[in-house]
């Protein structure tokens, strides 16, 4: 697909967003309490911001000399003001214009959280280009596939990502890498590869960008759909900005907030709830040095607000003084990305530091509902945002409609039509409202696994990969709510017999055979080999070799021989728990 000067939603999407409310829906009956948000400046009065560059411009105009953004090095904070951030965004925007990146062009970024990540993001939006952030856990082949699929003209890579993926990219593709000059053979001699410092030095000044409009595509986010095939979620500036402003109001965000961000910016959760929330309110943001230094960084930054996933909160729940562990000034711990364990939620509540869960999807920019200190109810995910309509259909599925619902899926109108029906996003999740108007998630219709870390993984995609092994007849990948994927594997009987015969292993039964240390080691090596090109979250951790097949008689398979996952997990519940406890 060639360059587009200004991206518009696919024909028909705008019409869908004005669809009528279907019959037999349950509407959220939510008592509204009007509150004035304690913002440093109100960009939503006479001239509301509708694009990400407008959010930045409004904040810079209001509080240019205020400390805005900090990084951590040598256990010390290094601050930039809003004016300094804005100047560096302008400089990088000029550099991109200098190499021909224009409004509508796609720009890929593969890097862990860092100062450069934020400046790159804001500079891409400044010139009206489309930001395509990819997860650092993707394999080189997956990165190359996404770069080709979106037709990127420029790629920003961290030093580590450069070493891992540069050789998979087209030699003519323009690559800019962060960090010190890289003395590696990757992409050696490619004239299109340049370090960030040199890229900025060679910029032509005075070029005028074409700023984006609210309806323009802002970001393209690849996420696994219900079919297991990655889909590019298209979010406009209006999608993101409307969600950011509504979320800030719902949680009573304040200009006095200091946020420590450690969730990956490649996910829309961190961008909307940390990065763009900070941009809108004009507060202070500190970027954690790494995922391994979060608690140390809390003591250095002393945040008042954090966003985390259930896995993080579970890891620290055993501390006696949670507030002290989180820096001593923490007021709000927001939680999203997956369901939080009830026992963890109770521990935090017992220390008068309740976890405030929210709910959403990448397709909704992402927040649909959020808890605050006033509406928090144990076991719920808060109330819908004031600009998001939520309904429960006859099947119990949660449907959402509002300005934050995606434009659609990149070059996939069929999938878009399935996801958005009469203007309503079909979330694939099952829910209900309590008597106070809080939303409760009761299950999922779709098969996507949500790990404890908040990562979404398609089990079908992993199972299809495992099917390529001669040692494996069938498999059922599990892991919902757990730290990593696990797998129940039906081994190929002939392969097992051959291995046992060659090795002269003495066994008395199929169960002894599959549990023999040599057979276990054989399958461990095979799993690692067959999944070598899969992403980090798609790797299988613990596994169980079964001494029987999945059967129709036990309800584990449909007449079409499709897996019935819930039945399988129930039938093997004790074995699964023992497998993860090893």
| Dist. CA 550–CA 463, nearest whole Å | 14
Tokens of 365: 């920019």
Local structure of residue 388 (DSSP, 8 states): -
Residue 304 has what pLDDT?
98
CA atoms within 13 A on the CB side of 107: 30
Q: What region does 24 belong to: left with phi over 0, alpha with psi -120 to 50, or beta?
A: left
Q: Which residues contact 291 (CB under 8 A, 6 or more apart)?
A: 262
Q: How far does Cα 55 stand from its chain's mean position?
A: 22
Fold category of 458-581 in CATH: GMP Synthetase; Chain A, domain 3 (3.30.300)
Quote the pLDDT of residue 310. 86
Three-state secondary-structure class, residue 77 = strand
Torsion of CA 391, 343, 317, 322, to 10 degrees: 70
CA distance 149 to 410: 9
Nearest CA to 489 among 409, 402, 403, 563?
Answer: 563
Evaluate whether 386 touches 404 at the Cβ level (below 8 Å).
no
- pLDDT at position 463, please? 87
Q: What is the pLDDT of residues 182-217, one digit of tens each?
A: 444 444 556 689 999 999 999 999 999 999 999 999
Around Cβ 110, how many Cβ atoms within 10 Å?
25
Q: Are 457 and 537 in contact (CB under 8 A)?
A: yes
pTM: 0.78
Taking Cα atoms as reference points, which of 38, 28, 49, 56 lies closest to residue 249? Answer: 38
Spatial distance between the Cα atoms of 111 and 342, rounded to a whole number of angstroms: 33
Q: Determine the pLDDT at residue 287.
A: 98
According to the model, what pLDDT value does residue 51 have? 98
Distances from the Cα of 220 to the Cα of 106, 175, 268, angstroms: 8, 19, 10
Q: What is the pLDDT of residue 568?
A: 94
- What count of other Cβ atoms lies within 10 Å of the Cβ of residue 183? 6
Low-confidence ranges of the chain (pLDDT < 50): 1-47, 181-187, 225-228
CA-CA-CA-CA dihedral for 433, 439, 440, 443, to nearest 10: 100
In this prediction, residue 180 carries a pLDDT of 65
> In terms of C-beta distances under 8 Å and separation of at least 24 residues, what long-range contacts does 81-86 make, across chains too?
82/282, 85/56, 85/60, 85/118, 85/119, 85/122, 86/56, 86/60
Residues 538-557 as b or e (16 or more Cβ within 10 Å = b): bbbebbbbbeeebeeeeebb
Query: pLDDT tens digits for 86-99?
Result: 999 999 999 999 99
Please report the pLDDT score of residue 223 as a whole number: 86
Q: C-alpha distances in angstroms, 351 versus 294, 314, 320? A: 20, 14, 9
Domain boundaries, given as residue ranges, for the chain: 458-581
User: Quick one: CA dihedral 260, 266, 267, 268, positive or negative?
Assistant: positive
Distance CA 565, CA 478 (A): 8
Angle between helices 459-466 and 517-530 (to 10 degrees): 110
């Amino acid at each position: 697909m060639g360059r587009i000067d200004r991206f518009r939603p696919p024909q028909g999407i705008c019409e869908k967003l004005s669809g009528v409310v279907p019959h037999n829906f349950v509407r959220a009956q939510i008592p509204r309490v009007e509150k004035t948000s304690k913002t440093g400046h109100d960009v939503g009065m006479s001239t509301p911001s509708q694009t990400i560059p407008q959010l930045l411009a409004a904040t810079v105009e209001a509080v240019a000399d205020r400390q805005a953004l900090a990084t951590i090095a040598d256990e010390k904070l290094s601050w930039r003001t809003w004016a300094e951030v804005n100047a560096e965004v302008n400089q990088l925007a000029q550099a991109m214009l200098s190499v021909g990146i224009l409004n509508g062009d796609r720009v890929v970024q593969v890097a862990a959280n860092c100062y450069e990540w934020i400046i790159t993001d804001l500079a891409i939006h400044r010139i009206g280009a489309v930001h395509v952030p990819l997860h650092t856990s993707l394999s080189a082949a997956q990165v190359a596939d996404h770069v080709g699929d979106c037709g990127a003209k420029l790629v920003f890579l961290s030093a580590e990502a450069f070493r891992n993926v540069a050789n998979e990219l087209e030699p003519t593709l323009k690559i800019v890498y962060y960090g010190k000059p890289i003395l590696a053979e990757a992409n050696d001699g490619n004239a299109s590869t340049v370090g960030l410092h040199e890229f900025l030095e060679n910029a032509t000044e005075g070029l005028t960008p074409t700023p984006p409009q609210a309806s323009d595509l802002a970001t393209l986010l690849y996420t696994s759909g219900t079919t297991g095939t990655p889909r590019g979620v298209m979010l406009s500036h209006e999608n993101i900005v409307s969600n950011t402003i509504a979320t800030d109001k719902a949680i009573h965000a304040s200009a006095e907030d200091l946020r420590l961000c450690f969730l990956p910016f490649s996910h829309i959760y961190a961008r909307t709830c940390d990065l763009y929330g900070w941009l809108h309110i004009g507060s202070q943001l500190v970027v954690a040095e790494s995922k391994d230094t979060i608690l140390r960084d809390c003591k250095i930054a002393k945040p008042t607000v954090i966003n985390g996933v259930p896995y993080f909160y579970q890891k620290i729940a055993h501390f006696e003084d949670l507030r002290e562990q989180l820096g001593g000034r923490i007021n709000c711990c927001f939680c999203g990305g997956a369901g939080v364990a009830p026992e963890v939620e109770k521990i935090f509540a017992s220390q008068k530091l309740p976890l405030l869960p929210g709910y959403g999807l990448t397709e909704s920019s992402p927040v649909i509902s959020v808890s605050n200190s006033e509406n928090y109810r144990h076991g719920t995910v808060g109330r819908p945002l004031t600009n998001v309509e939520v309904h429960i259909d006859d099947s119990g599925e949660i449907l959402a409609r509002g300005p934050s619902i995606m434009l659609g899926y990149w070059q996939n109108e069929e999938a878009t039509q399935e996801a958005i029906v009469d203007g309503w996003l079909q979330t694939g999740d099952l829910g209900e409202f309590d008597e106070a108007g809080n939303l409760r998630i009761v299950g999922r219709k779709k098969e996507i696994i949500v790990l404890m870390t908040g990562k979404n993984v398609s089990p079908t995609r992993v199972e299809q990969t495992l099917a390529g092994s001669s040692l494996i007849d069938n498999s059922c990948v599990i892991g919902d709510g757990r730290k990593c994927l696990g797998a129940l594997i039906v081994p190929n009987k002939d392969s097992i017999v051959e291995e046992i015969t060659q090795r002269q292993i003495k066994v008395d039964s199929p169960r002894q055979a599959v549990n023999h240390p040599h057979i276990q080691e054989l399958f461990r090596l095979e799993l690692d080999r067959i999944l070598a090109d899969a992403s980090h979250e798609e790797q299988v951790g613990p596994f169980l070799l079964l001494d029987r097949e999945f059967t129709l008689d036990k309800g584990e398979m449909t007449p079409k021989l499709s897996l019935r996952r819930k039945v399988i997990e129930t039938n093997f519940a004790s074995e699964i728990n023992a497998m993860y406890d090893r």
